[in-house]
Amino acid sequence: MNKIDFCEFEKELHLFERTYNGVPYWQMLRFIACEGIASDRIEKYDLKHQEMRSKTKAKFVFKVLAFSCKSIWNFSKLPVCDMVCFTDDPDTKKRFFDCWQMPEKINALSMKCLVDPDMLTWKDVHTFEGPYLKGQINYYVHKMLKKMPRDEKEFTFLQGLEDKMKRRFGRSLSAQRMEQEIQHWIPLDNAYEKYAERFFDKVKCKAIAVVCYYQDQMYAFYRVAKRRGIKIIEFQHGVINNHEEYWFEDQRGMNNNTPDYFLAFGQQHIEWTKLLPSTKAIPVGFPYQEVQIKKQANVLTEEKTVIIYPESHPEFENLLNEFSNMAAAEGYRILMKLHPLQATDPKLYYPLLSQNPHIEVITRQDKGIYYWLKLGKHHVMASTTVGLEAVAMPHTNICIAENVPHEQTQPLLDWGVARGFSTAAQLMELVRHPLQSENGVLEEKRKALWQPNAKQNIQDFFRDIMSLHL
C-alpha cells in the first residue's frame, strides 16, 4: 500500500477530525486499518485470540486477583524520579535499555531513572499480564457500570468508510470491526488516563522513554504527559520506512500522541519517514547492535558461505532451491536461517528447501542473528528486515529478490547497498561477484543507516535534554 496515497485518503475524509461519542479515534484505528488493507491477518488474529480467551477464563480470573494485589503493592513503592522507561517485554528491555546500562548512565548525569515498572510490563494478549490485564480489569468494570451507546451517525460514516477503502485500496476492515475496536478502546483509554494521572502524581517525572509509541495502552499516558509538560522520547525499534505510524502528511485534528523526540538508528531512517514537525528526530545509532557486533569479533567470515532467509512464497522457494543446487556444485556452503518460530518444524514451512541435501538448516537458537551475519559472506533474502542489520556488518554481500514483494528492503536496492535478482542464474552471478565498496561509498552509506558510537550519542542526548527540561 502506498503511504502517500493513504495519507491523501486521510486528508480527503478528514479522518483525524472524526469522533465517536465525542472522542477522536482515528490515530488509534489507523494502524489496524492499514493492516486490514494490507491483509486479512488482523481478523484471523482476533478470532484466534477470542478462542484462546474463551478457553482460559478460570486462569484469567486467578490472574486478575493475583495481579490486582501485586499492582497495589508495586504502585505503593513507586519512587519519585526524573524519567521513566517503559518497555513491552523483557527482550525489548534488554535490547534498548540494559545494553547501555541506562540507569547507571542516567545516574551519572545526576538523574533518577525508573526502568520498566513491573505493573506496566506488557506481553502477548493471551498472557493477560501488565497494562493489558490492568486495562481489561478497568474495561470490564467500566462495561458493567455503563454500556457505551452506539454513535449511529459515526457508524453510518464507518460503513461508508469501508466502501471507500475497498474502492480505493481493494480491501478494508468491516465497519463492525472498526466499531468494535473503537468501543473497546475508548473505555480502555479512559481507564488508562485515570491511572496515568495517579502514576504521574506519584513519580513526578519530567520525561518518559518508550520503544514503541503506538501502543493503545500508552496513548493515555502520552496525553497526560503532554498536558503536564512531560517530554516523550522514543527509541527506534525496527524498520520504519513506509510505516504508517511514522508517516504523516497532515496533523489537523490529531491528538498528537506522538513523541517529542525520536532517537533514530541513523539519518537515512529519518529521511525515509515523514514525521510530524512536533517530533524532533535525532540519529543516535543502536547500542545493542554495536555490542552484538563487537561480540562477534573473533568469528571469521567464510567467503564461500551463503545464508538464505526464506519466505513463504512458492516462487521464491523454488528459486532458492535451484540456486542452492548451482552454488553447491561450485563449492559454496548453503545455510538456511529460519525465523525462531519456524525453526522447530522446518519441513512444515519449507518442505522443498528443508529436504534439499545441499542446504544446512540452522536450528540452534543459542547464537543470535549477528553471529550468522558475521559468519556468512553472502546473504539472500526477500522481505526480511535482517537486510538492514546486514548492512551494519562490513564486507557483507546482500542479495534481494526483486520478483517477491519486499516493501521493507526496497530502499536498500534503491540506495545501492544491496543488489536485486529475479532468477537463480542472476543470484549466482551476484554471489560470484560480490558488491565492492568504491571510494568508501558503502562505508558512508553504512554510517547513514547506523550512526556510530551509539552509547555516547545517547548519553550526550540525555545530557542535553537534562539541561533543557530537567
How far apart are the C-alpha atoms of 59 and 51, rounded to whole Å? Answer: 14
58 occurs within a structural domain: yes
Question: Residue 421 is part of a domain; what is its CATH number?
Answer: 3.40.50.2000
Q: Going residue by residue through the chain (470 aa), what tens digit of pLDDT does each one get?
A: 567 788 888 888 999 889 998 888 888 888 888 877 766 444 443 444 444 444 455 565 565 566 556 655 566 777 888 888 877 666 667 777 766 666 666 666 566 776 655 433 333 333 333 444 455 555 555 555 556 788 999 999 999 999 999 999 888 889 999 998 898 888 878 877 888 888 899 889 888 888 877 776 778 888 899 999 999 999 888 777 666 666 666 555 565 678 899 999 999 888 888 787 888 999 999 988 998 999 999 999 999 999 999 988 888 999 999 999 999 999 999 999 988 778 778 888 899 999 999 999 997 777 889 999 999 999 999 877 788 889 888 788 999 998 876 666 777 888 888 999 999 999 999 999 998 765 567 788 888 999 999 988 988 888 887 777 65
Give domain status of residue 463, yes or no. no
Residue 340 belongs to some domain of the structure: yes
Q: Is the dihedral of CA 378, 379, 381, 387 positive or negative?
A: negative
In the prediction, which pLDDT does 280 show?
Answer: 92
Residue 467 in any domain: the answer is no
Question: Does the pTM exceed 0.85?
Answer: no
468 belongs to a structural domain: no
436 & 373 share domain: yes
Query: Across-strand partners of 19?
Result: 24
Nearest Cα neighbor of 81 from 169, 252, 209 is: 209
Interatomic CA distance for residues 53 and 64, integer angstroms: 14
- My answer on whether 234 and 311 are in the same domain is no
* Residue finishing a domain among 286, 310, 327: 286
Q: For residues 274 and 410, state if they share a domain.
A: no
Q: Are residues 281 and 320 in the same domain?
A: no
257 and 27 in contact (C-beta within 8 Å)?
yes
Q: Is residue 120 part of a domain?
A: yes
Which of 64, 49, 22 minimizes the C-alpha distance to 186? 22
Q: Are 462 and 105 in contact (CB under 8 A)?
A: yes
How far apart are the C-alpha atoms of 19 and 146, rounded to whole Å? 19
Domain of residue 189 covers 3-286
Choose among 255, 260, 198, 216: nearest CA to 234.
260
Asked if residue 188 and residue 98 are part of one domain, the reply reads yes
Cell of 55: 478457553
**Hey, which residues does 400 pair with through a beta bridge?**
381, 420
Q: Where are the beta strands (DSSP E) in 11-139?
A: 19-20, 23-24, 83-85, 113-115
Same domain, 280 and 305: no
Q: Which of 233, 252, 286 is the last residue of a domain?
A: 286
d(CA 135, CA 217): 7
Q: Are residues 100 and 144 in the same domain?
A: yes
Q: How many CA atoms lie within 13 A of 113 on its CB side?
A: 21
Judge whether 385 lies within some domain.
Answer: yes
Q: Is the dihedral of CA 423, 428, 433, 435 positive or negative?
A: positive
Joined together, the cell numbers standing for residue 296 give 562477534
The three-class DSSP label of residue 400 is strand
Per the CB < 8 A criterion, the answer to whether 228 and 202 are in contact is: no
* Residue 410 included in any domain: yes
C-alpha cell at 202: 506519584
Q: Which of 243, 261, 286 is the last residue of a domain?
A: 286
Residues 397 and 341 in one domain: yes
The H or E element containing residue 280 is: strand 280-283
* Number of domains into which the chain is organized: 2
- pLDDT of 53: 46
Q: Are residues 297 and 253 in the same domain?
A: no
**Sign (positive or negative) of CA dihedral 116, 269, 222, 195:** negative
Strand order in the sheet with 397-401: 359-362, 333-337, 302-308, 376-381, 397-401, 419-421
Q: Check whether residue 242 and residue 296 sit in a common domain.
A: no
Residues 96, 123 within the same domain: yes
* 315/243 same-domain check: no
